[in-house]
Structure 1
Amino acid sequence: MATLLITDDAAFMRMTLKKMVTDAGYDVIGEAENGQQAVELYNEHKPDLVTMDITMPEMNGIEALEKIKAANPDAKVVMCSAMGQQNMVVDAIQKGAVDFIVKPFDEARIKESLEKALSR
C-alpha cells in the first residue's frame, strides 16, 4: 500500500482529500498545514507520494517542493491548486512536480493522478 503525505493549510481540504485517498486504498502517514511542516514530515517518514497545496503560510508549496526535491530527487509530489494559479502550476512542474490536481477535488481525477505519479 502506497504511503501519502497530505499538505494543505485548510483543515477541511486535508480532511476531504484524506477521505478520498484512504477510500482509494492509500495509507496517509501524515498531514502538514504548511510547507515547512511538509518538508519536516517528508524527511521523517519518506512517503511514496506528497500532495502539496501551492498557496500556504510560512512556506508555500513551490518552496517546499524545491526543498523536498533537493533532499530526494526521486520524491513524487502532486501539486494541488485553485483555479487561476496556472503560472504557479507550470513553475511547480518545471521544478519537479509529477502532476497537479485542481480544487475543488474530483475523486476520479485524484485516483488517476496518484496512480500516474506512482507509476513513474
Structure 2
Amino acid sequence: MAKVLIVDDSAIMRRNLAAIMGRGGHEVIGEALNGMQALAEYGNLHPDIVTMDITMPLSDGIEALGKLLGRYPDARVVMISAINQKDRVFEAIKLGAKNYIIKPFEEDKVINIINQVLGLK
C-alpha cells in the first residue's frame, strides 16, 4: 500500500481520486488545493506518490512540480490533465513528472498508472 498525496483544487476530483486510490489498495494521507499547499504537505507527509492537477489557482501544477522536484528530486508525481492540455503534459514530463492521467478518469487506467510509477507492476 502506497501513501498518496492528492493535489487538486476541485473537491469532487479529490474525492473521486481518493475513492479510486482506496479501491486500488492505496492510502490517501493528505490533500492540497494548490501547488503551494502541495509543497508544504509533501514536506510534512513524505508520500510515496503525488497526483497533481495541472490547472490550479495560486501555483499551478507545472510550477509546483518544478519546485517540488527542486526540493525533493526523488518525488514521484503523476500529473492530472484535461484532454486539451497535451502541451502542458509534455512540459510536465520534461520537468520530471513520472506519468499523467487524463480526465475523465478510467479507474483501471488510474490504478495501473499509479502502480506502474510505484514499481508494483
For normalisation by structure 1, the TM-score amounts to: 0.98
**Percentage of matched positions with identical amino acids:** 47
Q: Deviations over 1:43-81 (max 9, x none)?
A: 111100000000000000011111110111110000000
1:7-66 CA-to-partner distances (Å, cap 9, x unmatched) read 111000000010011111101000111111111100111100000000000000011111
Q: In the comparison of the two structures, how many residue pairs are matched?
A: 120
Runs of 4+ in structure 1 over 4 Å off: none
CA RMSD of aligned residues (A): 1.0
Q: Does 1:20 align with 2:20?
A: yes
For 2:22 and 2:117, the matched residues in 1 are separated by 16
Helix, strand or coil at the partner of 2:55: coil
What is the correspondence of 1:89-104 to structure 2 with a 5 Å cutoff?
A: 89-104=89-104
**Unaligned 5+ runs, structure 1:** none
Between the aligned partners of 2:40 and 2:82, the Cα distance in structure 1 is 24
Give the counterpart letter for 1:102 in structure 2.
I
- Unpaired segments ≥5 residues, structure 2: none
Q: Distance in 1 between matches of 2:42 and 2:66?
A: 12
SS at match of 2:51: strand
- Corresponding residue SS for 2:97: coil
Deviation at 1:119, TM superposition (A): 1.1
Report matched runs for 1:1-120 at 5 Å: 1-119=1-119
Quote the Cα distance in structure 2 between the aligned partners of 1:8 and 1:104.
14
AA matched with 1:97: A
Q: Distance in 2 between matches of 1:9 and 1:85?
A: 17
Aligned partner of residue 12 in structure 2, secondary structure: helix
